[in-house]
Amino acid sequence: MLNMLIGVLVLGILVFIHELGHYLAAKFCKIPVLTFAIGFGPKLFSKKIGETEYQIRAIPFGGFVAMEEGKNAKESAKIFSSGSSDYPIWQRALVAFAGPAFNIIFAFLFLVAMYMIGVPHAPYLDTNKVGLVSSEGSAFGKIERNDRIVSINGRNVSGWQEIYTRLSDMSPEHSVVFVRGNDTLSAMISVPLPNAKTLESRGSGIYPSIPAVIGLVEANSAAYNAGFQKGDSIISINGAEISSWYAVSETIAKYNDSLGEISVLVVRNGEITDLSVLPRFNSEHNRYLIGIVLANPSTEIKKYGFIPSLKLAYKDCIKYSVMIFETLKKLITRLISPEYLSGPVGIMQMSGAAAQSGISALLQLLALIGINLGLLNLMPLVITDGGVLSLLLVEAITRKPIPAGVRERLSYVFMAAFLCLAVFVTFNDILRFSAIEKLLR
């Protein structure tokens, strides 16, 4: 519930920024603004200052700025668009464009602030070295431990943050170039899409080298009785070198009774200690466990100066924009299903979780959603700001406005399609509610 409440506030901020763009552009053009509303439905709060009535409404999934059209002022929930108007086309276009532009500008500013405040940085993710290739992953048999990944789908990668991003872009197949010894090799890796309802995914099975350091030994567990201690660093199991915590987890998960006790070498206070442990089957997790928990890998808060933050924020804006267009392309070409789309309910869940994770995570999510809102609002879909700009372009070319009847019928068609999409994505978000909650814990 707390996540949803925080999410409502976050969504409200993004809507406010969008409508503020329309409002300030209208004021700049001296176009009277009759209503500035956040949300739809019944009014919760209303106050008139000058010519403008400022409102907060019950349904927090949008907002509107109603303006005077021409000399005949009338209250309207329609965005300022083409039609019978005394205002020049460039002014009306500026008003329409300002909303999405503000979303993108503020997204950039959010990212600048995020980098200046500081972002969590895990040094072990700076490498492109593979720590483990799971036998259950699609990369098994193609990529091996200690390989170094240099590019994915023709784009260079320098660390695991970029590797994760490239492999999770929902492409059906990925071209991976990697170095093994002195050889440069390549492989096609197919990454199965996650289940649209449960979000469970088998993934590529490629993992980084997370230090195999024990953070907790559970009381009365097999590891406790065998003498394992917090801070022990596991370096081998049954003679097989361990270069990542994932290898520890997978090795123990594959244990069977016929193996008896397993030999584990750990480094403790600079000395190697040989321990023997007999894994126990855990019916709740349906697998063998020994009762150890990973120590949180060391992270640091990395702060950047103003100029470096500007450069990094710009790169992120470009990256997020490309991701949006690539996703749209895959939806249109049916490489991915619309079931993976998320709506306001999903956004609110993720926003609330990000807020509780820290200011940096919240600023990053605000930026990502803001760029989404900005770019998608520029799409020429009649009911969007991009649709208004398209109608104004036609008006500029033909030197006469689109007939009101045509605009109205087009609006009805697109509004019906939009409402169907909204119901569809909201229904999917509700079905995924528990899965998203589990994922964000």
Tokens of 82: 């083409």
Angle between helical axes of 306-332 and 89-117 (0-180°, round to 10) = 120
- Is residue 225 domain-shared with residue 280, that is, in the same domain? yes
Query: Residue 144 carries which DSSP code?
Result: -
Contact (CB, 8 A) for 190 and 173: yes
Residues 190 and 110 in one domain: no
Highest mean predicted confidence (pLDDT) among 1-10, 118-127, 195-204: 118-127
Whether residue 287 sits in one domain with residue 227: yes
Q: What pLDDT, on the 0 to 100 scale, is given for residue 78?
A: 40
Nearest to 374 by CA among 109, 110, 103, 105: 103
Mean pLDDT within 412-435: 62
Among the listed residues 58, 157, 105, 132, the one whose alpha carbon sits nearest the alpha carbon of residue 314: 105
Check whether 356 has a pLDDT greater than 90.
Answer: no
**What is the arithmetic mean of pLDDT over 126-131?**
88
Residue with tokens 């201690």: 229
- The answer to the question of residue 130 being in a domain is yes
Residues β-bridged to residue 288 = 281
Q: CA 126 to CA 124: how far, in whole Å? A: 6
Share of the chain above pLDDT 90, in %: 31
* Token code pair at residue 174: 């990925």
Tell me, yes or no, whether 326 lies in a domain. Answer: no
Tell whether the model's pLDDT for residue 217 goes beyond 90: yes
Q: How confident is the model at residue 245 (pLDDT cuts 50, 70, 90)?
A: confident
Same domain assignment for residues 102 and 172: no
Summarize the confidence of residues 87-107 as an average pLDDT: 93
**β-bridge mates for residue 5, sequence order:** none
The position carrying tokens 């005394």 is 86
Confidence of residue 362 (pLDDT cuts 50, 70, 90): confident
Which helix H or strand E contains 292, and what residues bound it?
strand 292-294
The whole-angstrom separation of Cα 24 and Cα 6 is 27
Could you tell me which of 382, 372, 389, 374 has the C-alpha nearest to residue 95? 389
Write the pLDDT tens digit of every residue in 103-120: 999 999 999 999 999 998
Q: Which residue has the higher pLDDT, 411 or 103?
A: 103
- Model pLDDT, residue 133: 85
Q: What is the mean pLDDT of residues 7-20?
A: 86
Question: Structural domain tally of the chain?
Answer: 3
**Residue 177 in tokens:** 């170039």
Mean pLDDT value across residues 391-410: 78
Boundary residue ending a domain (207, 223, 238): 207
> Worst-scoring range by mean pLDDT, 92-101, 162-171, 219-228, 271-280?
162-171
First-to-last CA distance in the chain?
13
Q: Which of 214, 377, 401, 396 is nearest to 292 (CA)?
A: 214
| Mean pLDDT across 341-370 | 74
Residue 32 maps to a domain: no
Among 19-23, 92-96, 377-381, where is mean pLDDT lowest? 377-381
2 or 328, higher pLDDT:
328
- Please report, for residues 57, 143, 157, the alpha-carbon distance to residue 149 in angstroms, rounded to integers and kept in the order given: 51, 9, 7
Q: Show which of 162, 177, 207 is a domain's final residue.
A: 207
* Paired tokens of 92: 């009306």
How far is Cα 71 from Cα 85, in angstroms, rounded to an integer?
8
The CATH number for 157's domain is: 2.30.42.10
Same domain, 158 and 241: no
113: in domain:
yes
Helix 306-332 crosses helix 359-377 at what angle (to 10 degrees)? 50
Of 162, 180, 207, which residue is a domain's last?
A: 207
Question: Which pLDDT score is estimated for 170?
Answer: 73
Which domain does 172 fall in, by range? 124-207
Spatial separation of the C-alpha atoms in residues 71 and 295, rounded to whole Å: 69
Same domain, 131 and 106: no
Q: Are residues 197 and 220 in the same domain?
A: no
Supply the pLDDT for residue 385.
Answer: 87
Is position 336 within any domain? no
Contacts of 23 (CB under 8 A, 6+ apart): 33, 36, 65
The pLDDT-based confidence of 25 (bands split at 50, 70, 90) is very high
Q: What is the DSSP letter of 333?
A: T
Q: Are residues 397 and 376 in the same domain?
A: yes
- Predicted local distance difference test score (pLDDT) of residue 73: 34
For residue 115, the model assigns a pLDDT of: 96
Give pLDDT, residue 76.
Answer: 38
What is residue 411's predicted lDDT score, i.e. its pLDDT? Answer: 67
pLDDT at 428 over 80: no
The pLDDT tens digits for 157-195 are 988 888 888 887 777 788 999 999 889 999 998 877 665
Which range is most confident: 268-277, 282-291, 425-434?
Answer: 268-277
Q: Which is higher by pLDDT, 392 or 113? A: 113
Q: What is the pLDDT of residue 148?
A: 92
Note whether 407 and 425 are same-domain residues: yes
Q: Is residue 243 part of a domain?
A: yes
Rounded mean pLDDT of 296-323?
91
Position 15 in a domain? no
pLDDT band at 398 (very low <50, low <70, confident <90, very high): confident
What confidence tier does 342 reach under pLDDT thresholds 50, 70, 90? Answer: low
Q: Are residues 84 and 113 in the same domain?
A: yes
Q: Read out DSSP for 74-94?
A: ---SSPS-SSS-SS-HHHHHH
| pLDDT reported for residue 65 | 87
Residues in the chain: 441
Does residue 54 form part of some domain?
A: no
Q: What phi-psi label fits residue 212: left (phi over 0), alpha (psi between -120 and 50 degrees) or beta?
A: beta
Lowest mean pLDDT among 176-180, 302-306, 406-410: 406-410
Phi and psi at residue 380, to the nearest 5°: -75, 70
DSSP state of 72: B
| Together in a domain, 360 and 435 | yes
Residue 267: per-residue pLDDT = 93
| Three-class DSSP category at 65 | strand
Tokens 């809102």 sit on residue: 373
pLDDT tier for residue 437 given thresholds of 50, 70 and 90: very low
Q: What is the pLDDT of residue 80?
A: 44
Could you give the CA distance from residue 42 to residue 56 in angstroms, rounded to a whole number? 9
Instruction: State the residue for tokens 């193996």.
Output: 259
The residue among 66 and 116 whose pLDDT is bigger is: 116
Using DSSP's 3-state secondary structure scheme, residue 41 falls into strand
Helix (H) / strand (E) element for 405: namely: helix 404-431
If asked whether residues 198 and 224 sit together in one domain, one would say no
Residue 215: pLDDT above 80? yes
Q: Is 45 exposed, middle or buried (0-12, 13-18, 19+ CB in 10 A)?
A: exposed
Name 291's Cβ contacts closer than 8 Å, sequence gap at least 6: 217, 218, 221, 222, 223, 224, 280
Q: Percent of the chain having pLDDT more than 70?
A: 80
Q: Average model confidence (pLDDT) for the chain?
A: 81
What pLDDT is recorded for position 216? 92
Q: CA–CA separation, 115 vs 437, rounded Å?
A: 27
Q: What is residue 340's predicted lDDT score, i.e. its pLDDT?
A: 60
Number of Cβ atoms within 10 Å of the Cβ of 202 = 14
